[in-house]
């Protein structure tokens, strides 16, 4: 029990049951009623601080869990972006070389003329994108059904 060097007087009105409880604590601890009240107040604040720390840790753990998922997805996007960037730069270098070697004067865009090969390439890419999107939707649907099944 901590001893207080200076104590101040406080007059309060308490319910008879509360006074009995204070007396019981004082008798069990072999201290005065004032010291029993002081100890109860100290215990209240320590418990409150402990609950705050537990609550803060719980929120921190939840945030870490959610951030880990997001970081994983962001990492995959970054890797994909790097691959696309690299491939695009390779194609630009190739196209620049090809344009230079053949001494082309003008550039004919696909808005002016689209070859059969270009149309086939666009169709192929659209099919791949659609197929990939469908796979992703199917995966998410199975994942959602799994979660609903495990919750039931």
Do the Cβ atoms of 39 and 29 come closer than 8 Å? yes
* 141 domain-assigned: yes
Do the Cβ atoms of 24 and 13 come closer than 8 Å? no
CA distance 151 to 81: 36
Q: Are residues 79 and 124 in the same domain?
A: no
Query: pTM to 2 decimals?
Result: 0.40
**pLDDT computed for residue 106 by the predictor:** 82
Do the Cβ atoms of 20 and 33 come closer than 8 Å? no
Q: Are residues 116 and 96 in the same domain?
A: no
CA distance 16 to 35: 19
Of how many residues is the chain composed? 152
Which pLDDT tens digit goes with each residue over 68-109? 888 988 999 999 999 999 999 999 999 888 888 988 888 888
* 3 domain-assigned: no
Q: H helices within the chain, ranges in order?
A: 16-29, 33-101, 116-151
Q: Are residues 124 and 68 in the same domain?
A: no
**Residue 82 lies in domain:** 14-105
Q: Are residues 126 and 64 in the same domain?
A: no
CA distance 66 to 64: 6
pLDDT(1) > 70: no
**pLDDT computed for residue 6 by the predictor:** 79
Instruction: Give the number of other CB atoms < 10 A from CB of residue 2.
Output: 7
Q: Provide the number of structural domains found in the chain.
A: 2
Between residues 133 and 10, which one has the greater pLDDT? 133
């Amino acid at each position: 029990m901590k001893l207080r060097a200076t104590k101040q007087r406080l007059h309060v009105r308490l319910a008879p049951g509360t006074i009995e409880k204070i007396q019981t604590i004082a008798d069990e601890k072999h201290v005065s009623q004032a010291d029993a009240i002081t100890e109860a107040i100290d215990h209240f604040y320590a418990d409150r601080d402990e609950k705050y720390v537990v609550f803060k840790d719980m929120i921190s753990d939840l945030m870490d869990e959610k951030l880990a998922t997001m970081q994983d997805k962001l990492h995959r996007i970054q890797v994909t972006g790097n691959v696309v960037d690299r491939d695009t730069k390779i194609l630009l270098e190739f196209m620049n070389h090809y344009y230079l070697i053949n001494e082309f004067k003008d550039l004919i865009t696909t808005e002016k003329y689209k070859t059969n090969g270009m149309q086939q390439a666009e169709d192929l890419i659209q099919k791949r994108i659609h197929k990939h999107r469908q796979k992703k939707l199917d995966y998410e649907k199975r994942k959602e059904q799994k979660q609903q099944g495990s919750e039931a």
